[in-house]
């Protein structure tokens, strides 16, 4: 499965799409997994910015709420770069605009295979110019770039504490710097740069328990007064003439309805979504089930599919790239699990150990 074709794992929803080729390489070990973002309600367009409380007084929840509203504060255009501790780098050009009816994003991926991704509220289209294919998906308003997802039921303040670190300039803009420190070993920490006036996340570091930077992403340049309009982006998104349109079969479901559950929940992580996707357009019977769990910042995707001895190795597989970890293994004689997330490996092992068949 193409990495742009499914919803999936990810943590801050800041840079999943420009990392798609790298994560797809990890996923070759196991399920046909892909990269997307935790589902969240669309941000309402707003012309005002939350100015209180002051940065030093904000709680972790208040930081998250402010960042969640930020993408629609102003239309913007910028170049976004992701750099992992391994030296891998990816970049994209982003256009973002909102109006009363819609939130629009255009992401031109500048690294790896050329592609352009559009999102209009919950509708996503990925254009592959080399093959003249456009892939259509519908997601529950999953943001593609700098936005922090809203996760119902998550208790962020129980698992992170925020520590303001002052101010720094990023891409010529003044940003408040805040450290989201985890309160247990099941998740990584984050250092974020939130643009002072809008709250937009302009830089992010994912931190290992020992303080090492596992991955860094940031705008290298950003125009918060761009002339881009939502209707302009919408017209570009609808320009599919000359492309073969592919719309994979996706069924929204739940882990319980598919006969799966966690014996015990992994602390802080709540179910966000679950979808079943056909392996191919002609085979709806044997699909890949993806269930996404999040604590409001970190996320884990569990992909379950029929075990295939020709595609799946006999022994469990582990791999990592930057902040992203992958665990792939057989969990029943008939089922292969691929767990992907920007969490420590032992968190993925906890998920795999707690997952059980209920029917």
Give alpha helix (H) positions in 7-133.
20-27, 60-69
Give the list of residues 6+ apart from residue 178 with CB closer than 8 angstroms, or none: 55, 58, 63, 162, 163, 164, 165, 191, 192, 194
Six token digits for residue 284: 């709806």
Does residue 307 share a domain with residue 234?
Answer: no
pLDDT exceeds cutoff 80 at 43: no
Does residue 196 share a domain with residue 62?
Answer: yes
Q: What is the pLDDT of residue 8?
A: 30
Q: What is the pLDDT of residue 256?
A: 94
Does residue 188 share a domain with residue 86?
Answer: yes
Domain containing residue 66: CATH number = 2.50.20.10
Q: What is the pLDDT of residue 242?
A: 97
Structural domains in the chain (count): 2
Does residue 222 share a domain with residue 164?
Answer: yes
- 71 pLDDT band, cuts 50/70/90, is confident
Does residue 346 share a domain with residue 240?
Answer: no
Calculate mean pLDDT across residues 297-314.
Answer: 92
What share of the chain in percent tops pLDDT 90? 62
Q: How far is CA 221 from CA 72, 171, 224, in A?
A: 18, 5, 10
Q: What is the pLDDT of residue 313?
A: 92
Strands 335-341, 299-306: pairing kind: antiparallel
Does residue 261 share a domain with residue 238?
Answer: no
Domain enclosing residue 291, as ranges: 249-357
Residue with tokens 């679950």: 274
Measured distance CA(305)–CA(328) in Å, rounded: 11
Domain containing residue 309: CATH number = 3.30.200.100
Does residue 306 share a domain with residue 165?
Answer: no
Calculate mean pLDDT across residues 268-276.
Answer: 92
Does residue 162 share a domain with residue 47?
Answer: yes
């Amino acid at each position: 499965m193409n990495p742009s074709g499914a919803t999936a794992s990810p943590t801050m929803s800041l840079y999943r799409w420009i990392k798609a080729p790298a994560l797809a390489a990890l996923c070759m070990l196991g399920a046909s997994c892909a990269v997307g973002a935790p589902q969240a309600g669309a941000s309402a367009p707003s012309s005002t910015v939350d100015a209180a409380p002051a940065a030093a007084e904000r709680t972790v929840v208040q930081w998250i709420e402010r960042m969640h509203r930020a993408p629609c504060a102003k239309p913007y255009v910028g170049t976004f770069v992701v750099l992992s501790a391994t030296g891998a780098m990816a970049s994209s050009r982003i256009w973002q605009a909102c109006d009363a009816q819609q939130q629009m994003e255009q992401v031109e991926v500048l690294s790896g295979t050329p592609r352009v991704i559009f999102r209009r509220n919950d509708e996503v289209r990925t254009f592959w110019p080399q093959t003249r294919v456009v892939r259509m998906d519908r997601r529950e308003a999953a943001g593609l770039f700098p936005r922090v997802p809203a996760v119902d039921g998550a208790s962020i303040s129980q698992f992170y504490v925020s520590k303001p670190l002052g101010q720094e300039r990023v891409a010529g803009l003044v940003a408040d710097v805040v450290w989201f420190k985890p309160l247990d070993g099941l998740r990584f920490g984050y250092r974020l740069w939130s643009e002072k006036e809008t709250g937009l996340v302009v830089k992010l570091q994912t931190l290992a328990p020992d303080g090492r930077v596992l991955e860094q992403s940031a705008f290298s340049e950003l125009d918060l007064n761009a002339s881009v309009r939502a209707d302009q982006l919408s017209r570009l998104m609808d320009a599919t003439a000359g492309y073969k349109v592919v719309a994979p079969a996706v069924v929204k479901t739940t882990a319980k309805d598919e006969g799966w559950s966690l014996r015990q929940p992994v602390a802080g992580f709540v179910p966000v979504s679950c979808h079943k996707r056909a392996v191919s357009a002609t085979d709806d019977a044997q699909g890949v089930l993806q269930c996404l769990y999040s604590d409001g910042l970190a996320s884990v995707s569990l992909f379950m599919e029929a075990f295939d001895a020709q595609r799946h190795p006999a022994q469990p597989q582990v791999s990592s790239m930057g902040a992203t970890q992958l665990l792939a293994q057989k969990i029943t004689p008939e089922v292969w699990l691929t767990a992907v997330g920007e969490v420590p490996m032992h968190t993925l092992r906890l998920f795999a150990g707690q997952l059980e068949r209920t029917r």
